[in-house]
Structure 1
């Protein structure tokens, strides 16, 4: 499994967590029954756990940049994509440009026709206001 596939699974797990409220351990268990994450296991679990741990903060950031589009009105998959990307940019060691590009590609694959541009615009505004460098990884 490569990092792009792992990121898709992170988004799927965050989506499942959001809609089912299953414990993370059960979500991981279900995933591992059918998939071998290989060397991506640490990234997957770390990103899912970290996102959930910082969910309130991340959701506040999403609401701040979503301009009159409250979280409850967003497609749940878009919310999972945004949460994953924002977590990576705030706490991960992933270059900002990669995180945004991957978020847009996941949206193209799994969400509505309008979602890629919405996600790109929201994440772009977030990056600009936070002063994050487009090509650099966060040092947190």
Structure 2
């Protein structure tokens, strides 16, 4: 997903977090192993690696709560029927809004839209 070898901003950090979440969702690899490999392969500052790790942990630890929120707001779309990337973009944004005090909600929503445009299904951000 990430086209460069360096993570230089929060948008790129969110891309890495999304990659980890999608891999754990599809093939059930351990998030810590995926993170270790990505951090070894990419040039990630400690600030950005902490941000990525926190995002991933907040989603995975609270996935039941996040999926319940999604189900409450989209009852005709069971979680399993939402495309993998799309559901993880939503989970990521919800987790960042709920548990990250650093980023304004509007910025999180904008970033989620950009992730959906870049990596989601054809109609994800439309």
The normalised TM-score by structure 1 is 0.80
Gaps of 5+ in 2: 1-7
Q: Is the Cα–Cα contact under 8 Å of residues 11 and 111 in structure 2 kept in the other structure?
A: yes
1:59 to 2:67 alignment: yes
Deviation at 1:67, TM superposition (A): 3.5
Pairing partner for 1:98 from 103, 107, 119 = 107
Q: Is the Cα–Cα contact under 8 Å of residues 12 and 80 in structure 1 kept in the other structure?
A: no
Q: Is the Cα–Cα contact under 8 Å of residues 47 and 84 in structure 1 kept in the other structure?
A: yes
The normalised TM-score by structure 2 is 0.88
Gaps of 5+ in 1: 118-140
Deviation at 1:36, TM superposition (A): 1.9
Runs of 4+ in 1 over 3 A off after TM superposition: none
Q: Give the 5 Å matches for 1:1-140.
A: 1-38=8-45, 39-93=47-101, 94-117=103-126
Deviation at 1:97, TM superposition (A): 0.3
Tell me the C-alpha RMSD between the 2 structures: 1.0
**What does the per-residue CA deviation read over 1:18-75, in whole Å, with 9 as the maximum and x for residues that have no partner?**
1111112111122122112212011000110111001100010011112301111110
Aligned residues: 117
